[in-house]
Amino acid sequence: MTDKVNITLRVNGKSYAIAVEPRRSLADALREDCGLTGTHLGCEHGVCGACTVLVGGKPVRACLMFAVQVGETEVRTVEGLAKGEVLHPLQKQFWENHGLQCGFCTPGFLMLAAGALEADPDISDDELREVLSSNLCRCTGYQNIIKAVKLAAAEMRK
Amino acid sequence: MSWIGRSLPRLEDPLLVKGAGNYVADVARGAASVRFVRSPVASGTILGIEKPEDGLVFTAADLDGIKGIKPVLHRPDYVAIEQPVLAQDRVVFAGQAIAVVVAEDHATAEDLAEQVFVDIEPSDAALDVDLALQEGSPIVHVQAPANVLVEGKIRTAGLDDALKQAAATIKMEIRSRRQAAMPLETRGGVAQYDRASGRVTLFASVQMPHMLRTGIADVLGIPEADLRVVAPDVGGGFGQKMSLFPEYIILVWLARHLQRNLAWIEDRRENLMASTHSRDQAFTITGAFSADGKLLGVDADMRSNVGAFSCYPVTCGVEPLMALAELPGPYAVQEYGARSRGVTTNTCMMAPYRGVSRPTLTFSMERMMDVAARRLGIDPIEIRRRNLVDTFPHRTPTGLIYDEGSYRATMESAVNAIDLPAFRERQKREWAKGRYLGFGISVFNERTGYGTPAYAARGMDIVPGYEIVDCAMDPSGNVSVRIGASPHGQGLKTSLAQLVADELGVTPQTVRVISGDTDATPYGWGTFASRSMVIAGGASKLAAGKIASKLKLIAAALLESDVDHIDLNDGLAKVRNSNRSAPITELARAAYHQSHKFPGLGAGLHENAIYDPAGTFSNASHASIVEVDVETGQVKIERFVVAEDAGVLINPMIVDGQIHGGVAQGIANALYEEIVYDDLGNCLTTSLADFLPPTILEIPTIEIVHSYTMSDASITKAKGVGEGGLIGAPASVINAVVDALSPFGIEIFEMPATPQRILDHIRGKRAV
């Protein structure tokens, strides 16, 4: 057991002053210390990507980063994706196109895709598939995930 | 306006896409953390357990009066083995829980668990299904000296003659390597202790909440009333979350013992080594064919590795007995003989995984058809045509009755979608250039929506099958549907809302489906075995139908019409061929607040119904085109076509989604995923990087063609569709791989066909 460290996480535009052990992962800090349980843990080995969040705009496995490493950098999670009651285009297209079944991998896929589309709004289909291969889904066979992300990309380019 | 048949976006999703779902780990905040100490060896005697001086640590010795889990099958060939909730004197698989610790958070609990020292004298382990059957093998349980826990047999009178008369006999050694269902959310439970009542509420990531309540109460010797089980949002199950696990029993016992809230959230390593596995099967199968390609008889010796224990409630009979009953699949086989054994080993317990045996059965029959076609010089599609069942109802040699289906028609649809003649031309051209493309087909039927008769026939002590549905319309016209089924990603709430909306003439948005809470739903069997749409759907239709009848009587009285002339539609009760109508909301209010006006009807709108069908078979054919890289052994799937017949599709988008997911798991089963043990019984595949679930890059576009055979075996005319994708895909893909490699003249009877195995075949290093 180690002493806790006081840190302030900037998540979705809000500040969370929390005390964590240095070994606390960002995923655990988000879920347990900030109460943001939309970020899910599927393996804690960095393989499945269910815990993907954006740190400084880049997709990151929150299970592989320590909370104390984040510093001042802005973190974005699935809870920050919608603007109030208005769903983000990715959320809307996942819903309308059956891009989710059990929903457990969904927050990770949404943040992964959000990061990719913000970095390159004109990303090619091949590159998009390459990016989406970072994460695992066990329900959908990925068919409607790629469909939803492409439709969202088109909507975001408008 | 009808809601059935519409691809309505799911009512479940707005919360889930916002990250506002409520999975079991999301209710764990504030609870102390529970962690299990697990056996590091496959087999051995526990000599001693040293607990650390500080901290809450419990072993079997602390669990006074707790029985083991002992699922029962009423068959003379079944050996009932009791699974202790914590290992007592000996361990029988690597990963078995030996002790449990409780700490303030999970990191501290892990630290504490590492301080528990377990002294085990290891002994030789039985691991491989066939080695475990050999004389002199280590014995897993003394009650089963031959390591056989269940054995089924059948032999029709004419089989020996059929085998003698055959123009060709095809003998195959089929091997399916061990699989895991691998839901993306692992198992987990949160037990909340209520000091006022002494009750425990167990939130758990499960498929059968009522069954879990019964099972835990029985083992702990407490009334079921003292326990409430809630399945919140569940992150996938695929069969792995059906069983009663020791971890949940311990969790409830600890919550009562310590009188506090506790959480156990399984990590991925535990999930891969200590939850459940499946489909570790070895089949020796002989098919007897006439010269014109008629399948005269099938003789099979099937061994299923059921691991160290028998899963509750379905038992270790589930894979071997399904294999025994369903091997012939969609083919009309008159003569059939089979011996099917469940073999216990020092490995993780087998439990159902989407498809249960049938991926291996379909793989067996479909490989047999291709081999026979080549041997007899008959086109592989033609040989199937000559053998597929095409008159219904059809009775199989094992007594199953196939209701109306479209076995041949779906095969033709799949083949047409591929344009096989054009592909054959292309294949020849590509072979000449050194590119190896192949076509594969599989045809299968899927037994779905079966009720108590099917489980009773299996000899189960606990006979699941029926569903009870409570349906109510409140005074403002909103509908609640309380179900015993327990969906975990299937979108069942949306599909049932569509079904009920049509019965009552309202919109699905006004229908709330309530599931997964034993305090709020009627006793039921949960969601598994492609049953929920058929059975919970049937019961929902019946219950809602009773409310519709009552609404019509009220409308007839208020509108002064004959009840037979009332239609419920678009939120109104309308008198046919007139302009008279009344809003359903007004009828609902009248049912509660003006009940004196409708003597004999009884107050309110609250009905229930039970549905317990015999079962209905959906069917499908999967056609695929693959390319094999003969330098690396890699397989790329170029096209994948599913021609499916599941009767009426309540929500076609959801049905397609079920097929997509099943096919992806089937491709994984065919080419990638495998649970591997070393020679000592250590599980080597304990991360997702080892188990190799496919990503989007491995799964091609899945094309789906639907047919709609209407069967009277289901009152909604909907057949189950949950497992088919996984049943048909492995056979199709591996048939395509073999076809691609036909210039090398090899056969593959083992899955997954990994790159290494394919290369070994190409280089002639692997015996067929």
pLDDT in tens, A114-139: 999 999 999 999 999 999 999 999 99
Q: What is the pLDDT of residue B766?
A: 58
Token digits of residue A156: 């975001």
> What number is the average pLDDT over the span B416-444?
97
Determine contact, residues B722/A101, Cβ cutoff 8 Å: no
> What number is the average pLDDT over the span A71-93?
97
Q: What is the pLDDT of residue A91?
A: 98
Closest by CA to B103, choosing from B115, B94, B95, is B115
Residues of A within 8 A of B20 (CB-CB) are: 38, 79
> What number is the average pLDDT over the span B208-223?
97
Best probe of the B interface among A2, A101, A129, A151, by most B CBs < 10 A, is A101
- Which candidate from B10, B234, B268 shows the least CB-CB separation from A98? B10
The residues near B308 (Cβ < 8 Å, ≥ 6 apart) are: B92, B93, B96, B140, B344, B345, B346, B347, B348, B349
SS3 B516: coil
Q: How far apart are CA B62 and CA B49, in angstroms?
A: 12
Residue A47 to residue B688, Cβ atoms within 8 A: yes
What's the longest Cα–Cα distance across chain B?
85
- Which candidate from A45, A50, A129 shows the least CB-CB separation from B696? A129
Determine contact, residues B243/B181, Cβ cutoff 8 Å: no
In sequence order, which ranges of B221-357 are alpha helices (DSSP H)?
246-258, 268-274, 318-326
The residues near B377 (Cβ < 8 Å, ≥ 6 apart) are: none
- B238 interface with A at CB cutoff 8 Å: yes
CATH at A28: 3.10.20.30
- Which candidate from B10, B184, B654 shows the least CB-CB separation from A136? B184
Residue B14 to residue A143, Cβ atoms within 8 A: no
Count of all residues that appear for chain A in the document: 158
- For residue B99, CA distances in Å to B38, B84, B94, B229 come to 7, 12, 14, 24
SS3 B335: strand
Q: What is the pLDDT of residue B768?
A: 44
Confidence of residue B765 (pLDDT cuts 50, 70, 90): low
pLDDT in tens, B72-96: 999 999 999 999 999 999 999 999 9
In chain B, list all ranges with CATH 3.30.365.10.
357-447+617-762, 453-611
Residue A73 shares a structural domain with residue A106: no
Domain-embedded: residue A71: yes
Fold designation for B453-611: Aldehyde Oxidoreductase; domain 4 (3.30.365)
Q: What ipTM was assigned to the predicted interfaces of this complex?
A: 0.98
- Which candidate from A36, A103, A133 shows the least CB-CB separation from B21? A103
Residues of A within 8 A of B18 (CB-CB) are: 38, 78-79, 81-82, 87, 91
Residues of A within 8 A of B661 (CB-CB) are: 101, 138-141
Q: Which residues 360-419 of B have a C-beta within 8 angstroms of A?
A: none
Q: How far is B405 from chain A (nearest CA, A)?
A: 26
- Which candidate from B17, B111, B234 shows the least CB-CB separation from A94? B17
Taking the CA atoms of chain B, what radius of gyration do you get in angstroms? 27
CATH at A96: 1.10.150.120
How many helices (H) and strands (E) chain B has is answered by 19, 29
CA B658, B661, B664, B665 torsion: positive or negative? negative
Residues of A within 8 A of B664 (CB-CB) are: 140-142
CA atoms within 13 A of residue B132's CA, in its CB half-sphere? 31
Residue A138 shares a structural domain with residue A101: yes
What's the CATH architecture for B357-447+617-762? Answer: 2-Layer Sandwich (3.30)
Give percent of chain B with pLDDT exceeding 70.
99
Q: What is the pLDDT of residue B65?
A: 76
Residues of A within 8 A of B725 (CB-CB) are: 141
* Final residue belonging to a domain, choices A77, A98, A119: A77
Q: How far is B692 from chain A (nearest CA, A)?
A: 10
Q: How far apart are CA B17 and CA B19, in angstroms?
A: 5
Taking the CA atoms of chain A, what radius of gyration do you get in angstroms? 16
Q: Which residues 51-70 of A have a C-beta within 8 angstroms of B?
A: none
Residue A121 shares a structural domain with residue A150: yes
User: Between A1 and B58, whose confidence is greater?
Assistant: B58
Q: What is the pLDDT of residue B730?
A: 98
Residues of B within 8 A of A107 (CB-CB) are: 19
B475-488 in b/e form (b: 16+ CB < 10 A) is: eebebbbbbbbbbb
pLDDT in tens, B512-553: 999 999 999 999 999 999 999 999 999 999 999 999 999 999
Count of all residues that appear for chain B in the document: 768
Residue A50 shares a structural domain with residue A30: yes
pLDDT in tens, A35-68: 999 999 999 999 999 999 999 999 999 999 999 9
Residue in chain B nearest A134 by alpha carbon: B695
Domain-embedded: residue A82: no
Domain-embedded: residue A15: yes
Token digits of residue B422: 């054009």
Residues of B within 8 A of A48 (CB-CB) are: 184, 268, 688
> What number is the average pLDDT over the span B358-374?
98
The CA angle B9-B10-B16, to the nearest 5 degrees, is: 120
Token digits of residue A153: 């990309």
- A109 interface with B at CB cutoff 8 Å: no
Residue A69 shares a structural domain with residue A105: no
pLDDT in tens, B604-623: 999 999 999 999 999 999 99
Best probe of the B interface among A94, A135, A139, by most B CBs < 10 A, is A139
- For residue B478, CA distances in Å to B409, B481, B554 come to 43, 10, 17
Residue A64 shares a structural domain with residue A103: no
Only one residue has tokens 């699905």, namely: B508
Domain-embedded: residue A41: yes
Mean pLDDT of chain B: 97
Q: What is the pLDDT of residue B764?
A: 86
Residue B697 to residue A129, Cβ atoms within 8 A: yes
Residue B654 to residue A98, Cβ atoms within 8 A: yes
The CA angle B619-B621-B624, to the nearest 5 degrees, is: 155
> What number is the average pLDDT over the span B497-502?
98
pLDDT in tens, B160-203: 999 999 999 999 999 999 999 999 999 999 999 999 999 999 99
pLDDT in tens, B704-723: 999 999 999 999 999 999 99
In B31-184 the beta strands, taken as DSSP E runs, fall at 32-38, 44-50, 56-59, 90-91, 97-103, 117-122, 148-155, 168-176
pLDDT in tens, B295-351: 999 999 999 999 999 999 999 999 999 999 999 999 999 999 999 999 999 999 999
> Domains in chain A: how many in total?
2
Determine contact, residues A50/A104, Cβ cutoff 8 Å: yes
Domain-embedded: residue A84: no
* Final residue belonging to a domain, choices A45, A77, A109: A77
Residue A68 shares a structural domain with residue A131: no
Q: Which structural domain range is residue A48 located in?
A: 5-77
